[in-house]
Amino acid sequence: MEYTHLGSSGLTVSRLCLGTMNFGWKTEEADSHAIMDRALADGVNFFDTANVYGFDAGKGRTEEVLGSWFAQGGDRRDKTVLATKVYGGMSDWPNDTFLSARNIVRACEGSLRRMGTDWIDLYQFHHVDLETPWDEIWQACETLVAQGKVLYVGSSNHAAWQIVEGNAVAARRNFTGLVSEQSHYNLLTRHVELEVLPAAQHSGVGILPWSPLAGGLLAGVLEKGEGTRRTEDRQQKRVEQHRTALEAWEALCRELGHAPADVGLAWLLHQPAVTAPIVGPRTMEQLEGGFRALEIELDDATLTRLDEIFPGYRPAPVEYAW
């Protein structure tokens, strides 16, 4: 396993982050525990979840699965850099949603209780809250940090200007501010290259790409053919929309001799702003594929061909101004 610092912080994390969104509802608890044991044994020390994960099994269920795994001991908690998120509503009652100081503090207490831990290494804002001022957000985070319940703070789905503004307000308060940003980033979805990635690099904020395989489109969807989950109506429309590029993509992966999913992750690992893609396996096999991506070296010629298949963006304003 390779490791790096999370943004400009001193926190060391693995180059792959284990996403747990499927645990407890799509992946049974025992299988989830086995996947986490395997990830930790192979050096993945960075696990990501959210308070709302659990969906059909109930919000908070995924955090409970992590809690029952930590309870098995064996230094599982001490070895894990634990990240969770706040924003989504945990009930229909007012103030149980978004980023008010009240919800941040109370949601943190709920996450700590469900996971059976005293602290969260990385507490992330799951989405931007345009109605709550940064001073209020940071006041709540400062309280949690002072209490030792949160060590670092990150964002998710934030625009470049929001990341910069948030850290500017934090600096005025002599607070560390954001050390990471989770963004939708993969070969098919590259909009963050315009402003989010440059802003993050300038601000010392590590990028954690979510949906690194575009919901399965980059995992060899054409080669797998009909009869799979990926060819359901909504996904099939996306396949048809990108069929020409996907055909070229899968042909290139065959030429390279690697599975498309592994190449898709490897490409993200070659992007200088990226700290760790979030790999969200449902099965052990999917986790093992992520490990293979760490061994793939993409030369300049291959990276150029990938840019031709899936055109990206130059940083703004260069992309559109001249």
Query: Can the peptide bond before residue 209 be classed as cis, meaning omega within 30 degrees of 0?
Result: no
Asked if residue 225 is part of any domain, the answer here is: no
CATH code at position 183: 3.20.20.100
Distance (Å, rounded) from C-alpha 265 to C-alpha 44? Answer: 15
Tokens standing for residue 291: 């490990």
- Helical axes 284-293 vs 29-41, angle rounded to 10°: 20
Asked if residue 229 is part of any domain, the answer here is: no
Domain limits for position 277: 3-216+259-304
Q: Which residue has the tokens 């949160």?
A: 150
Single out the residue of 116, 112, 203 nearest to residue 155, CA to CA: 203
Asked if residue 145 is part of any domain, the answer here is: yes
Confidence of residue 233 (pLDDT cuts 50, 70, 90): confident
Q: What is the pTM of this model?
A: 0.95
Give pLDDT, residue 98.
98
Asked if residue 252 is part of any domain, the answer here is: no
71-111 residue pLDDT tens: 999 999 999 999 999 999 999 999 999 999 999 999 999 99
Give pLDDT, residue 97.
95
Asked if residue 107 is part of any domain, the answer here is: yes
Confidence of residue 184 (pLDDT cuts 50, 70, 90): very high
Beta bridge partner(s), residue 83 = 48, 122
23-51 residue pLDDT tens: 999 999 999 999 999 999 999 999 999 99
Report the number of distinct structural domains present in the chain: 1
> What 3-state class would DSSP assign to 187?
coil
Confidence of residue 234 (pLDDT cuts 50, 70, 90): confident
Asked if residue 243 is part of any domain, the answer here is: no
Confidence of residue 290 (pLDDT cuts 50, 70, 90): confident
Q: Is the pLDDT of residue 226 over 70?
A: no
Asked if residue 246 is part of any domain, the answer here is: no
Asked if residue 250 is part of any domain, the answer here is: no
Distance (Å, rounded) from C-alpha 49 to C-alpha 68? Answer: 14
Give pLDDT, residue 227.
43
Q: DSSP characters for 236-261? A: HHHHHHTHHHHHHHHHHHHHHTS-HH
Catalytic residues, by residue number, are 53
